[in-house]
Structure 1
């Protein structure tokens, strides 16, 4: 099995994208085996080895972000990489986000002139990381294509009432993305929450995880890292660039 797969979505031929999985790498133990994160206490030599393997399939080294579950966005190239989304109009600059349950989104347009990658945990999603990115990309909504990558599915994503209430205060439609399991606990559908934001922005070309359990990071231990499942673990990467 390869340590990545190519997303299936109808993008222009010059748009290249990739989603890594956790196999065929050098990391050991909890990080077994294709961990790409340097901040999770894995052996840095193993991470460097894995990143070098990844770089063999890329036009340049990815622009790794320092992700903090924010709604911050940077345009690449940039010396400032404290953000949870990046975009670029330049060729051969690789936008990348790391996840292990949070939702990765890859973005381009019909003409293939701009790309972006978003890390959307519930905090970033709530605070507008998707909207901030689309606003900075400055594209007509009907020209935007979105790919939703592997993330935790609703069956495994337990949150408190404060999370549900915060989303529902911003979009009444968000109520349908939560399933009650007790008075104060809910199961959240992060895919639906993202789609509500995208539809509100006017985006309709959305691809990727249609059956969320198929891409569920929590349920598929062999393929994906999951922070909710394992605590200390590695990270996958979602990448996109203009060739």
Structure 2
């Protein structure tokens, strides 16, 4: 089995022992510049053989304590949640995924967007979501959370069931690296997309010259998760160490690298249940 590169991130959170999670960085792969070296993006312009080798390494690292298959989704900045089974094919269009089956890894890929991993304190299920600003504003995190709600019982009011399920699910979430609040310049339409839903979102936008704003993507995600009833939040706290743009030796960043090189690699946040 391949050894996990020391540079990769292991979530520091109170997940059950059988819930495993990891987030890759640039380290440990075979891709040449500007995708150096652990690029997992299949449509980023990299040599397909190098990408396949990197995915094989990822699977080997995840399988250190038993076979694990990471499932690749084609992310489209939407809100679709894809349930995963052992035979779910790669390449389905979705930006969130979930499974209760051991040995199947939910994967959220990113290179400035925010990957979010989920489980509950009993470890009955895991989920992952890819949250750029469009998906975040449209509700991709809420889509992932819906997977933790049990089926409605016959004769029980849906609204009451939803409240009970959110409390019973006891979800915990880990936020991975993303573009930070000093690097993410956006237009007024982005601010409006969030503030029209919740005026408190304005606190995560700082005005700039020319009508632009600096947006705190991770802060917006934390706000939405708390509004959905999730209080146990870990990982990205919007500090500089989590910023993909500001840490070029560790993280890929589309906004930083694409203008210079015409390409950027992709990282992957993965979560799975051990068998």
TM-score range, shorter chain: over 0.9
Equivalent in the alignment of 2:249: 222
Question: Mind listing any 5+ residue stretches in structure 2 that lack a counterpart?
Answer: 150-164
Give the counterpart of 2:124 among 113, 121, 130: 113
Equivalent in the alignment of 2:166: 140
Distance, in Å, in 1 between the alignment partners of 2:237 and 2:7 is: 22
Equivalent in the alignment of 2:76: 68
Is the contact between residue 141 and residue 201 of structure 1 (CA under 8 Å) also seen in structure 2? no
Distance, in Å, in 1 between the alignment partners of 2:78 and 2:97 is: 12
Q: 1:235, CA displacement in angstroms?
A: 0.3
Distance, in Å, in 2 between the alignment partners of 1:211 and 1:71 is: 23
Task: Tell me whether 76-85 or 200-209 shows the greater mean CA deviation.
Answer: 76-85
Q: 1:14, CA displacement in angstroms?
A: 0.5
Which stretches of structure 1, 4 residues or longer, exceed 6 Å deviation after superposition? none
1:54 has 2:58 as partner = yes
Distance, in Å, in 2 between the alignment partners of 1:21 and 1:133 is: 23
Equivalent in the alignment of 2:111: 100
Distance, in Å, in 2 between the alignment partners of 1:182 and 1:50 is: 42
How many residue pairs match? The answer is 243
Distance, in Å, in 2 between the alignment partners of 1:219 and 1:3 is: 16
Question: Mind listing any 5+ residue stretches in structure 1 that lack a counterpart?
Answer: none
Equivalent in the alignment of 2:141: 130
Give the counterpart of 2:212 among 182, 185, 192: 185
Is the contact between residue 188 and residue 213 of structure 2 (CA under 8 Å) also seen in structure 1? yes
Q: What is the root-mean-square deviation in Å for CA atoms of aligned residues?
A: 1.3
1:10 has 2:14 as partner = yes
TM-score by length of 2: 0.85
Distance, in Å, in 1 between the alignment partners of 2:49 and 2:69 is: 17
Larger Rg: 2
* SS at structure 2 position matched to 1:47: helix
Q: 1:141, CA displacement in angstroms?
A: 4.1
Q: 1:55, CA displacement in angstroms?
A: 1.1
Equivalent in the alignment of 2:226: 199
* SS at structure 1 position matched to 2:93: coil
Judged with a 3 Å threshold, the aligned counterparts in structure 2 of structure 1 residues 67 and 163 are, in CA distance, closer, same or farther, namely: same
Q: 1:40, CA displacement in angstroms?
A: 0.5
1:153 has 2:177 as partner = no
1:163 has 2:190 as partner = yes
Distance, in Å, in 1 between the alignment partners of 2:167 and 2:198 is: 19
Distance, in Å, in 1 between the alignment partners of 2:10 and 2:226 is: 25
Q: 1:3, CA displacement in angstroms?
A: 5.2
TM-score by length of 1: 0.96
Distance, in Å, in 2 between the alignment partners of 1:98 and 1:196 is: 22
1:109-129 CA-partner distances (Å, limit 9, x unpaired): 010010001000000000000
Q: 1:132, CA displacement in angstroms?
A: 1.3
Distance, in Å, in 2 between the alignment partners of 1:141 and 1:152 is: 31
